[in-house]
Amino acid sequence: MTTDAARSTADGLAHHPLVGRPGKVIALHLNYPSRIAQRGRAPSRPSYFLKTVTSLATSGQTVERPPGTELLAFEGEIALVIGTTARRVAREDGWSHVAAVTAANDLGVYDLRSADKGANLRSKGGDGYTPLGPASIPAEQVDPASLRVRTWVNGELAQEDSSATVVFPFGELVADLSQLITLEPGDVVLTGTPAGSSVVGPGDVVEVEVDVPGTDHSTGRLRTSVVEGPEPLPEFSAQPSVDDHQRAEAWGSRDAAGLEPPFELTEDRIAKLRQVAVATLSAQLRKHGYNQLSIDGVRTDKPGSKIIGRARTLRFVPAREDLFRSHGGGYNAQKRTFDSLKPGDVLVVEARGERGSGTVGDILALRAQVLGAAGIVTDGGVRDHSAVRELDIPTFSGGPHPAVLGRKHVPWDNDITVACGGATVQPGDVIVGDDDGVLVIPPALLDQVLDAAIEQEAEEEWIAARVAEGAAVDGLYPLTGEWRRRYDAERDQEGTR
């Protein structure tokens, strides 16, 4: 129930979004389904970060984009202003501690995210990076699920969504935070942004409004102008760092950022890979200057079969009793990785070439098969080798061994760059294996290598036919001189049929 003090605070907020100087500003990472779909990860519980009190600003102020940065992004949000102290409150009572709501712009510089990771202190804590206002809506006068947030950039609508869609209702956020943190009058809670957040630069104007459609309840438009900062960061400060992943996240998509679409191992590419031998692909990789892409010392348990897929990785470190006690049992990295496999994945395991212990057994291999994984590659041993061999999923390994992990290995981490059989493997690399062995192909190389490999195999098939007819290999293998002219003429003739 709203107290008289909270009601008085709410009345005072009708034109002023802040109660004195807030003690803290807490922001939520993800809440709107539209934004969650963009990010590709769904939170099971709310997660937060802190913004500095000096990041607060009012409507009509400017915000600086630091010199040398390119990815200043806006995020229109609904901000909650706490009216009464909240400590360990129940979920159903959380909203009663909110005095008012107002419009917020949770600005951030993606170029500086690498310095802080999830803390966001540098990227989102700069002066002026949390404008609020211009007015507030008393919380007691509205249903928290009836609010709308909209954002305009240079007068064009960029974001629009309803609080009715959020994963974590606003009262629940207050209750959740209050379990460990005392929320005090004036504290501000930012409740997440919907899809549509993107990049702005000097000269752009961003406006955010929170309202209740069909009523007079509105915060008015919170207006912020972007300017270029006057001073670059000194050398002793963390410098801007940008990659295509950050660009895609800041702009909202790779397409919006002007980037090439992400590589996909399409059915057409897979069909081509099935046509060519690993030996042929290896020869083409060498022609392109790549001689270190073979995973050595591993053999298939299913002669005649082939694996084609994208790499997922798992890393074991050398066995150590205390580390195995802390990392070897329970739902460890090995089990988590197998459980997360998707159709078309090839799990590549770094076991340092140590074959004196199993790195996969029949249960985990079966799990990979059920999930649709395309294969398993490990430069270590395989337990239950006969049972694994009977499964449909191909496994390339250093051979059988009966021992469990603890003898030689500790499962450590996954989906990182690993070394397997002397080759460096990154998540997403293309993995191709047959009876000759296993290759790692960087995605950017695949198409040119693949087309050349198909042409090479066509040539070699023609050469083999000539050898079968009794021709000597001199000048024929590889094709030179008259043999080359003859081959090219026949190919041209076939092309005109």
Radius of gyration of the chain from its Cα atoms, rounded to whole angstroms = 30
pLDDT band for position 21 (cuts 50, 70, 90) = confident
Tokens of 395: 């496994």
Domains (ranges, CATH) in the chain?
4-251 (3.90.850.10), 291-441 (3.50.30.40), 452-496 (no CATH)
3-state secondary structure at position 286? helix
For β-strands 375-378 and 345-350, DSSP reports them as parallel
Find, among 62, 55, 67, the residue nearest to 231 by Cα.
67
SS (H, E, C) 292-327: CCEECCCEECCCCCCEEEEEEEEEEEECCHHHHHHH
Cβ partners under 8 Å of residue 282, min gap 6: 293, 294, 436, 439
**CA atoms within 13 Å, Cβ hemisphere of 16:** 10
Q: Is 36 annotated as a binding residue?
A: no
**H or E element: which one contains 148?**
strand 148-153
**H or E element: which one contains 385?**
helix 385-390
User: What would the mean pLDDT of 17-30 be, rounded to a whole number?
Assistant: 82
Q: Is 127 annotated as a binding residue?
A: no
Given this model, what pLDDT does residue 491 score?
83
pLDDT band for position 16 (cuts 50, 70, 90) = very low
Tokens of 467: 């050898």
Asked if pLDDT for residue 306 goes beyond 50, the answer is: yes
pLDDT band for position 9 (cuts 50, 70, 90) = very low
Q: Is 399 annotated as a binding residue?
A: no
Asked if pLDDT for residue 332 goes beyond 60, the answer is: yes
The mean of the pLDDT values for the chain is 92
Per residue in 356-412, pLDDT (tens digit) is: 999 999 999 999 999 999 999 999 999 999 999 999 999 999 999 999 888 999 999
Q: Is 362 annotated as a binding residue?
A: yes
For β-strands 48-51 and 25-28, DSSP reports them as antiparallel
Q: Is 176 annotated as a binding residue?
A: no
Report d(CA 387, CA 75) in Å as an integer: 53
Question: To the nearest 10°, the Cα dihedral for 473, 478, 484, 487?
Answer: 80
pLDDT band for position 495 (cuts 50, 70, 90) = low
Given this model, what pLDDT does residue 15 score?
42
pTM of the shown model: 0.68
Phi, psi of 206 (to 5 degrees): -110, 135
Tokens of 350: 């770094």
Q: Is 363 annotated as a binding residue?
A: yes
Per residue in 176-202, pLDDT (tens digit) is: 999 999 999 999 999 999 999 999 999
Asked if pLDDT for residue 455 goes beyond 70, the answer is: yes
